């Protein structure tokens, strides 16, 4: 590896204790022990998705991942998932090296509880105010995720977050994600100061991904514009936006929101329970797509980088391709600056 690459990789490599500061984002139903271990064994950083997995199954997944790799990996906790509290307790008991909070934002006490176990805490930031709050709460690193990403997303693009947060934060490593699909683009993220990058969509259809063949094929054939973000119809029912490929399931989600708002008007359901129904829809819908191959009514969570995906590849090839492309771009930029 060239010296310039080593220098730009240094902070991310040392924080994650990996060969390449390339994070495979945690994807519910997709990021299972096999995919996570494959990423970590290939020199990247795998993240085991907690989602709403029953605690005993999640515990087994952690143990299975440890059997498949002796490399570092993280567990990802979805703060808005019904199983969140039980997952938080499990993490405290298990004393894992890295914990990522996602889906929503943890409070100061929750971060402190995890850090007391010796774990490094990574938090997502979808705005500059949230980034500052997470750092003040004790986060050891941030992931800036632009609204171009798949799954639960914020409302600010990565290009704006880079200027608002990455350019102004020096205290903790900042990893970036959302719309990244090529090593050339990843190289420029590091040149701008990122400690590393996070990708999800490209790994979602890797050879090692457990996703159904129909799911993978749908991604390969999709265009960037097909990955749309769900709207919130009314502030009475807060909805964390989800980016996924447009299908009949997307239409069903719109109908669900309207039905829940009608129940709220009639006093037939509480706001908390209505939000629970929203999350249950996505958790169930994602399983339909990933496991069962229902590409019509299942949730096809994908980032806009889906338009850059052209084939399914082995995880090792994806990581090496990204790393090699980054190195070539670093060399090209160096020549331009002479």
Question: What's the pLDDT at 106?
Answer: 94
- How far from 1 is each of 57, 137, 333, 334, CA to CA, in Å? 40, 36, 16, 15
At residue 1 the predicted structure's pLDDT band, cuts being 50, 70 and 90, is: low
DSSP element (H, E) containing 190:
helix 183-191
Percentage of the chain exceeding pLDDT 70: 100
Q: List the structure tokens of 29.
A: 């139903």
| pLDDT averaged over every residue in the chain | 93
Side by side, the strands of the sheet bearing 242-245 are 151-152, 242-245, 227-229
> Rounded to an integer, what distance in angstroms lies between the CA atom of residue 124 and that of residue 143?
5
Domain spans of the chain? 3-211+310-336, 213-290
Contact between residue 51 and residue 81 where contact means Cβ atoms under 8 Å apart: yes
Q: At what angle do helices 84-94 and 55-68 cross, to 10 degrees?
A: 40
CATH fold for the domain made of 3-211+310-336: TIM Barrel (3.20.20)
Tens-place pLDDT, residues 181-200: 999 999 999 999 999 999 99
Tens-place pLDDT, residues 199-237: 999 999 999 999 999 999 999 999 999 999 988 888 888
Q: Where do we find the tokens 């993978």?
A: 216
> Rounded to an integer, what distance in angstroms lies between the CA atom of residue 234 and that of residue 318?
41
Tens-place pLDDT, residues 49-89: 998 889 999 999 999 999 999 999 999 998 888 889 999 99
């Amino acid at each position: 590896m060239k010296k310039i690459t080593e220098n730009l990789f240094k902070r991310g490599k040392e924080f994650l204790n990996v060969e390449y500061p390339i994070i495979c984002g945690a994807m519910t139903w997709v990021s299972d022990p096999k995919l996570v271990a494959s990423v970590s064994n290939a020199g990247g950083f795998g993240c085991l998705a907690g989602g709403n997995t029953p605690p005993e199954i999640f515990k087994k997944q952690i143990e299975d991942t440890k059997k498949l790799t002796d490399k570092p990996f993280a567990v990802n906790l979805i703060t808005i998932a019904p199983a969140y509290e039980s997952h938080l307790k499990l993490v405290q008991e298990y004393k894992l090296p890295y914990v990522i909070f996602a889906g929503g934002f943890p409070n100061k006490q929750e971060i402190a509880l995890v850090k007391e176990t010796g774990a490094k805490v990574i938090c997502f930031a979808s705005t500059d105010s949230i980034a500052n709050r997470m750092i003040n709460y004790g986060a050891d690193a941030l992931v800036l995720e632009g609204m171009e990403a798949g799954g639960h997303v914020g409302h600010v693009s990565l290009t704006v977050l880079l200027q608002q947060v990455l350019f102004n934060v020096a205290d903790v490593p900042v990893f970036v994600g959302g719309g990244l699909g090529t090593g050339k683009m990843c190289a420029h993220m590091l040149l701008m100061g990122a400690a590393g990058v996070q990708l999800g969509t490209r790994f979602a259809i890797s050879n090692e991904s457990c996703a159904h063949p129909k799911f993978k094929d749908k991604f390969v054939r999709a265009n960037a514009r097909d990955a749309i973000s769900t709207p919130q119809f009314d502030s009475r029912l807060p909805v964390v936006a989800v980016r996924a490929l447009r299908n009949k399931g997307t239409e069903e989600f719109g109908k669900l929101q309207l039905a829940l708002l009608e129940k709220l008007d009639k006093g037939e359901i509480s706001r908390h329970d209505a939000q629970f129904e929203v999350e249950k829809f996505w958790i169930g819908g994602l399983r339909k797509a990933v496991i069962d191959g229902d590409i019509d009514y299942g949730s096809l969570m994908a980032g806009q980088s889906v338009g850059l995906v052209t084939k399914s590849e082995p995880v090792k090839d994806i990581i090496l391709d990204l790393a090699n492309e980054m190195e070539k771009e670093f060399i090209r930029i160096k020549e331009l600056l002479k």
